[in-house]
């Protein structure tokens, strides 16, 4: 299997912070931190078998979507050398609208 580097866009890092803030306010900082650490580990695991998820070329060429623990939608692209995490959408956010409304989701 091909290995690729995994990178997070600035928007994806901001999404992690927002998810942490939302969970920490409701369940405490330890649970919030644990959750975003699991998300990050899941995404970093895409260095192999990167071409997973569902292709959504209808929204953006090369866009892939995969779910995490039934609560997070991970939007990413795969090139020959890199997997780029574009956005992380939590709890039923309308991720399709975000990508379609501003042209690229980021």
Average pLDDT over residues 13-22: 95
pLDDT for position 91: 82
pLDDT for position 72: 95
Give the total number of structural domains in the chain. 1
Q: Confidence band (pLDDT; 50, 70, 90) for 34? A: very high
Going from the C-alpha of 78 to that of each of 19, 45, 49, 53, 106, the distances in angstroms are: 24, 13, 10, 11, 16
User: Which of left, alpha, beta for 92 (phi over 0: left; psi -120 to 50: alpha)?
Assistant: left
Burial class (CB in 10 A: 0-12, 13-18, 19+), 15: buried
Q: What is the CATH number of the domain that holds 77?
A: 3.30.2310.20
pLDDT for position 66: 95
User: Which of left, alpha, beta for 48 (phi over 0: left; psi -120 to 50: alpha)?
Assistant: beta
Query: Could you report the per-residue pLDDT of 36-92, keeping only the tens digit for each?
Result: 999 999 999 998 877 888 999 988 899 999 999 989 999 999 998 999 999 999 986
| Nearest-angstrom CA–CA distance, 47 and 8 | 12
pLDDT for position 52: 85
- Residue 16's domain spans which residues? 5-102
| Nearest-angstrom CA–CA distance, 13 and 40 | 10
Q: Which of 10, 5, 1 is nearest to 86 (CA)?
A: 10
pLDDT for position 48: 80
Reply yes or no on whether the pLDDT at 97 is more than 80.
Answer: no
């Amino acid at each position: 299997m091909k290995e690729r580097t995994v990178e997070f866009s600035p928007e994806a890092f901001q999404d992690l912070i927002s998810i942490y803030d939302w969970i920490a306010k409701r369940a405490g900082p330890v649970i919030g931190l644990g959750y975003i650490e699991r998300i990050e580990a899941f995404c970093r695991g895409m260095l192999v078998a990167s071409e997973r998820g569902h292709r959504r070329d209808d929204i953006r060429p090369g866009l892939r979507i995969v779910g995490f623990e039934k609560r997070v939608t991970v939007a990413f692209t795969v090139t020959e050398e890199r997997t780029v995490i574009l956005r992380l959408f939590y709890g039923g956010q309308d991720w399709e609208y975000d990508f379609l409304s501003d042209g690229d989701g980021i």
